[in-house]
Chain A
Amino acid sequence: MANSTVREIGNEPKSRKMNLLQAINSGLDIAMATDQRVLCLGEDIGHFGGVFRATSNLQTKYGRDRCFNTPLTEQGIAGFAIGLAAQGSVPVAEIQFADYIFPAFDQIVNEAAKFRYRSGDEFNCGGMTIRTPYGGGIDGGLYHSQSPEAYFCHTPGLKVVIPSNAYQAKGLLLSAIRDPDPVIFFEPKAIYRASVGEVPEGDYEIPLGVAEVVQQGTDITLLGWGAQMAQIIKAAELAVDEGISCEVIDLCSLLPWDRDCVAQSVTKTGRLLISHEAPLTGGYAGEIAASIQQHCFLSLEAPISRVTGLDTPFPLIHEKHYLPDHLKIFESIVATCNY
């Protein structure tokens, strides 16, 4: 997991096993401890600690002024956070489920994203971070499963970050909170508890905009983010038996994204597969594919493959069929390599 670009702050060598949720909680704790300006707000995040308990104990530790429940209004939460950030605070707002971020769409897309540009940098709301659990895998159906990252990646002025494990979650969250631009931080809730790893107890940041090469390989590059990484890694293992060597890249930051890292890999392997849970049409894989095709055209030996959800709302009973699982990715690896 060690990432050479990680910046350790202070020399705190201690680490312990944490799941992704505990890592988020630890990241928030450190952000609040190291910067008085950091505040947490959102529905049920106060005393209760949020419906997933990501903000557990923060109200007790930092007081109601700095960690508080809001009324049930996402547009209010986003607008309030923008105001706080404009005033110099560093708000970390939770939207209870990414499926419920849409009432806040106007505040995020028209306001947060354009605050700096439209004022000629007279004003900005760069201190704000929006955290929100996204993705399927919990029997959540239409409205507790969506992956809306592409809507936000289509918005200049925002940064979009998605960790895939506990270690990344803490390091990327600390970077997101301290980043001078507004960041949407999507948390893969399906692996909130299942993803467990060694996480430093102290302060560290993982830089935004930098992808992580999870596994070196020579025949095909597999690219994804968030919970999808587990499926991709499983598929890469299946491919070994077919004599296919996969290079696996975790994008980590979707906007801006590490094109150089991906392009370098594809130049080497000659093939690219991108996988996300969101529907195919207008999904972020399309953007990556277009860009990589332009930069690596002469290296490509097969069309870039996209393994994604179907172009339907997120289903319930047929969730398993809908999701781009390791078998679908594996089949697509084989097809791409045999093209």
Chain B
Amino acid sequence: MKIAPNVTPAKRPPEFQDGSSIRLPSLQILNQDGSVAAGANMPDLPRDQARKIYSDMLYIRLLDERMQNAQRQGRLSFYMTCTGEEASVAGTIAAFGAQDMVMAQYREQLALRYRGFTTAQFMNQLFGNIEDLGKGRMMPVHYGSRELNIMTISSPLATQIPQAAGYAYGQKLKGKDACTLCYFGEGAASEGDFHAGLNMAAVLNCPVVFVVRNNGYAISTPCSEQFATDGIAPRGLGYGIKTIRVDGNDILAVYAASVEARRIAIQEQRPVLIETISYRLGAHSTSDDPSGYRSKDEEQIWRDKDPIQRMKNWMIAQRWWDETSDSDLQQSYRTEILAELKLAEQRDKPPLGDLITDVYKSVPSHLLEQFQALEAHIAKYPDHYSV
């Protein structure tokens, strides 16, 4: 352990460094056609798990398409797709155990799917109905589930990063064979909380794996206006964190890196940073229109690197998958998604009482008074306040 800055005399005249000599390579295993890159080390990924990963990616692609359309039809207030980035999340979550806590940003619906969040659960949150675990309080896509060890998404960016360090430190103190998996975007990595979180995780040796999804944009802001460095990975080095960059559209590369990352976090009890290089193929959200800040040509370059197609090519080459199974699966997912969508949008909204619960563990008297006044008021104008 280094405890003080290295003071070995340097050569004269003074020589400054800006880190540009450090060019971190990006781990790649699969070529786009599904062949394995020469000399690549294949991770141990059994057929059934590969199929699950692939199926979940396919499912989320279809869910995203459907819900984006539902928003356009006015059935839903808001939605965010993860199109193009599926492998960055599927490949990481698949390397972790159910006991590991997940703290995500908002574009990681694949982590929920992988852990078993059901179509009904997605829909209930999206429509904020009476069965939404979050009681209809958060905007669409702010999922969370205690049962699945997935912390409820919060909109203020990067806040989960120091929280993940703290959560992991707690896991360590309890001697648990568990760590924390923390996702965020390259834009969020500009927040102060990123720096605080990584430094604390490193200094306090927290078993946390940070995954920064570098997808090229933070809303309209391209990476070139977000940071002057070679991506986010060099910052991990700066904080003394074991760091790797991977091709985020390469499911095997992401998975291989993640298996090792979890091993380091648990066995060495220290943080890890994974930077996945990918591209946000869709709009930032349904409120955004990317044609104002990037070209169709640029998007096409990344469409051609589709992570789902790449995994499919590999699966078919392995004879683990075929086109018929693929279209059958798509059809059954589409049917299920549409059916659950219809059910969820018809379910009742949460009761008015949910407005004042959970502010505190129990409702304080002043809030109860306010609520009673509200109820009396609504009783006077029932039509105006019916939802």
Pair A318/B192 contact, Cβ less than 8 Å = no
Total CB contacts across the A-B interface at under 8 A: 128
**Do the beta carbons of B350 and A69 come within 8 Å of each other?**
no
How distant is the Cα of A327 from the Cα of B191 in the complex, in angstroms? Answer: 41
Interface 9-residue window, one of A174-182, A223-231, A292-300, A305-313? A305-313
Q: A102's closest neighbor in chain B, by CB?
A: B156
Q: Taking A47-B293, A316-B138, A327-B377 as contacts, is the C-beta distance between A100 and B156 under 8 angstroms?
A: yes
Residues of B within 8 A of A71 (CB): 187, 190, 221, 225-227
Is B356 part of the binding interface, using a Cβ–Cβ cutoff of 8 Å? Answer: yes
- C-alpha spacing A71/B224, complex, angstroms: 10
Q: Are A327 and B381 in contact (CB under 8 A)?
A: yes
The one of A47, A100, A102 that contacts B220, using a Cβ cutoff of 8 Å: A47
Let me know if A310 and B377 touch, CB within 8 A. no
- Flag whether B40 is at the interface (Cβ < 8 A): no
Chain A residue numbers with a CB within 8 Å of B356 are 310, 312
Q: Which residue of A76, A139, A310 has the most chain B CB atoms within 10 A of its CB atom?
A: A310
Cross-chain contact A142 with B155 (CB below 8 angstroms): yes
Task: Given A72-B226, A99-B156, A317-B128, verify A43-B221 contact (CB < 8 Å).
Answer: yes
B352 within 8 A of A: yes
B147 proximal to A (CB < 8 A)? no
Partner of B287, one of A51, A76, A142, A310: A51
Residues of B within 8 A of A51 (CB): 219, 287-288
Closest to B386 in A: A320
Q: A203: CB under 8 A from chain B?
A: no
Say yes or no for A87: interface residue by CB 8 A criterion. Answer: no
Q: Which chain B residues in 123-163 approach chain A with CB under 8 Å?
A: 128, 136-139, 142, 154-157
CA distance in complex: A328, B370 (Å)? 12
Residues of A with C-beta under 8 A to B219: 43-44, 48, 51
- Measured in the bound complex, the distance between the Cα atoms of B244 and A104 in whole Å is 31
- Considering the chains assembled together, what is the distance between the CA atoms of A322 and B370 in angstroms? 10
- Docked Cα-Cα span, A71 to B225, in Å, equals 7
The answer to whether A328 touches B377, judged by C-beta atoms less than 8 angstroms apart, is: yes
The docked-state distance in angstroms from the alpha carbon of A68 to that of B128 is 37
Which residues of chain A are near B380, meaning CB under 8 Å? Answer: 331
Q: CA separation between A313 and B219, bound complex, in Å?
A: 26
Q: Contact partner of B225 among A69, A75, A313, CB < 8 A?
A: A69
Residue with the greatest number of chain B CB neighbours at <10 A, chosen from A69, A74, A75, A99: A69
Q: Does B193 contact A (CB under 8 A)?
A: yes
Interface status of A321 (Cβ within 8 A of chain B): yes
Q: How many B residues are at the interface, by size bracket?
A: 35 or more
Chain A: CB-nearest residue to B222: A69
Are A310 and B371 in contact, CB atoms less than 8 angstroms apart? yes
Q: Give the residue of B139, B142, B155, B187 whose beta carbon is less than 8 angstroms from that of A72.
A: B187
Q: Which of A311, A318, A331 contacts B354 (CB 8 A)?
A: A318
A281 located at the interface, meaning its Cβ lies under 8 Å from any Cβ of chain B in the complex: yes
Q: Do A311 and B367 touch across chains, with their CB atoms under 8 A apart?
A: yes
A79 (CB) vs chain B CBs: closest residue = B192
Chain A hits for B293, CB < 8 A: 47-48
Interface string of B219-245 (1 = CB under 8 A from A): 111000111000000000000000000
Q: Are A321 and B367 in contact (CB under 8 A)?
A: no
Residue of B nearest to A280 (CB): B370
Shortest CB distance B353–A (Å): 10
User: In this assembly, does B292 line the interface, its C-beta being within 8 Å of a C-beta of chain A?
Assistant: yes
Nearest residue, chain A, Cβ from B132: A317
Known: A312-B367, A327-B384. A321 touches B355 (CB 8 A): yes
Complex contact A99–B190 (CB within 8 A): no
- Contact, CB under 8 Å: A142 / B78: no
Contact yes or no, B387 A144, CB < 8 A: no
Whether the Cβ atoms of A72 and B218 lie closer than 8 Å is: yes
Q: Which of B20-78 contact A (CB under 8 A)?
A: 77-78
Bound together, the chains give a CA A322 to CA B355 distance in angstroms of 8
User: For the complex, what is the distance from the CA of A320 to the CA of B382, rounded to whole Å?
Assistant: 12
Neighbour of A75 across the interface among B128, B154, B192, B370, CB < 8 A: B192
**Chain A residue contacts of B156, Cβ below 8 A:** 99-100, 102-103, 143
Interface string of A63-92 (1 = CB under 8 A from B): 000001101111110000000000000000
| Contact A310 B374, beta carbon cutoff 8 Å | yes
Give the docked Cα–Cα distance between A310 and B366 (Å).
10
Q: Contact: A69 with B221, CB < 8 Å? A: yes
Residue A303 CB within 8 A of the other chain: no
Could you give, for residues 248-283 of chain A, a 1 whenever the CB lies within 8 Å of some chain B CB and a 0 otherwise?
A: 000000000000000000000000000000001100
With contacts A315-B137, A321-B352, A331-B377 known, is A72 near B157, CB below 8 A?
A: yes
Q: How far is the CA of A44 from the CA of B193 in the complex (A)?
A: 20
**B203 beta carbon closer than 8 Å to chain A:** no
Distance in angstroms between the alpha carbons of A76 and B195 in the assembled complex:
12
What's the minimum C-beta distance from B86 to chain A, rounded to whole angstroms? 23
> Within the assembled complex, what's the spacing in Å between the Cα atoms of A313 and B355?
9
Within 8 A of B (CB), among A117-168: 139-144
Chain B 354-373 against A: per-residue CB contact (8 Å), 1 yes, 0 no? Answer: 11100100000011001100
Instruction: Tell me how far the C-beta of B104 lies from the nearest C-beta in chain A, rounded to whole angstroms.
Output: 15
Shortest 7 CB-CB contacts between residues of A and residues of B:
A317-B136, A143-B155, A48-B220, A71-B190, A72-B190, A72-B187, A141-B139
Query: What are 14 pairs between A and B in contact, CB < 8 Å?
Result: A43-B221, A44-B218, A46-B220, A48-B292, A72-B157, A74-B191, A102-B156, A103-B193, A143-B155, A280-B370, A311-B370, A318-B387, A321-B352, A321-B378
A73-B190, A73-B191 known; 10 new pairs, CB 8 Å cut-off, are A43-B221, A44-B220, A46-B220, A48-B292, A72-B187, A100-B157, A102-B156, A143-B139, A143-B154, A327-B384
Chain B contact residues, CB within 8 Å of chain A? 77-78, 128, 136-139, 142, 154-157, 187-188, 190-193, 218-221, 225-227, 287-288, 292-293, 349-350, 352, 354-356, 359, 366-367, 370-371, 374, 377-378, 380-381, 384-385, 387
